[in-house]
Amino acid sequence: MAKILIAISLLLAQADDADQQADVPAAEAANGQQDGQATDAADEMGDGEQEVKEKGAAGADKKGQQPKGGGGIGRMLMPMVLIFGLFYMMFILPDKKKRATLQQQLNELSTNDRIVTIGGILGKVARVDKDAEEVTLILDESNNTTMKIVRSAIRQILRDEDTGK
């Protein structure tokens, strides 16, 4: 995935460089034409008027040139928007769906469900206390070993289709 993002950013950078190189000859040609017009006009007028016209032509050169950046802020933001969109679709949406599924399963939690905790402990639900957000697990049925955990410590609820029974 990272290689794809790098390739996209390199392609966009090459497109920007090509646009800037295409703009430079056009701007230079416009500058040369304006300089030639200013020189012709200066030849026809006196020295004092010639200086005024040259200053005016120099100001026109600066105004006539296109900016070298070309494209503005929209062109700069486009790669960032694309990268954020890809990031959102690949990482945030699947995680959001997984959390919603787990929350739904926790709300439907009942006795005799098999669970896996965040710490990796396997157990069978003996009692669910929804008001206190606690779950009592039976860890070993032969010794009747139990443990109380908070509901948020449950990572996965194992169903019959999950265990292959």
Per-residue pLDDT of the chain (165 residues), as tens digits, is 667 767 777 777 776 666 666 555 555 555 555 555 545 544 555 555 445 445 554 544 455 555 555 668 888 899 999 999 999 999 999 999 999 999 999 999 999 999 999 999 999 999 998 888 899 999 998 998 999 999 999 999 997 765 554
Residues contacting 104, CB < 8 A, separation 6+: none
For residues 96 and 120, state if they share a domain. no
For residues 95 and 125, state if they share a domain. no
For residues 15 and 95, state if they share a domain. yes
Determine the Cα–Cα distance for residues 54 and 46; give it in Å rounded to an integer: 12
For residues 118 and 91, state if they share a domain. no
For residues 12 and 74, state if they share a domain. yes
Burial of 154 (0-12, 13-18, 19+ CB in 10 A): buried
Domain count, the chain: 2
For residues 74 and 139, state if they share a domain. no
For residues 128 and 154, state if they share a domain. yes
The answer to whether the beta carbons of residues 115 and 137 sit under 8 Å apart is yes
For residues 92 and 114, state if they share a domain. no
Can you spell out the DSSP letters for 39-64? HHHHHHS-HHHHHHHHHHHHHHHHHH
The answer to whether the beta carbons of residues 113 and 124 sit under 8 Å apart is yes
For residues 95 and 117, state if they share a domain. no
> Domain of 154?
109-163
Please tell me whether residue 122 adopts helix, strand or coil conformation: strand
For residues 21 and 91, state if they share a domain. yes
Determine the Cα–Cα distance for residues 47 and 115; give it in Å rounded to an integer: 96
For residues 12 and 50, state if they share a domain. yes
Match 């020295």 to its residue by tokens: 47
Task: Return the bridge partners of 140, or none.
Answer: 145
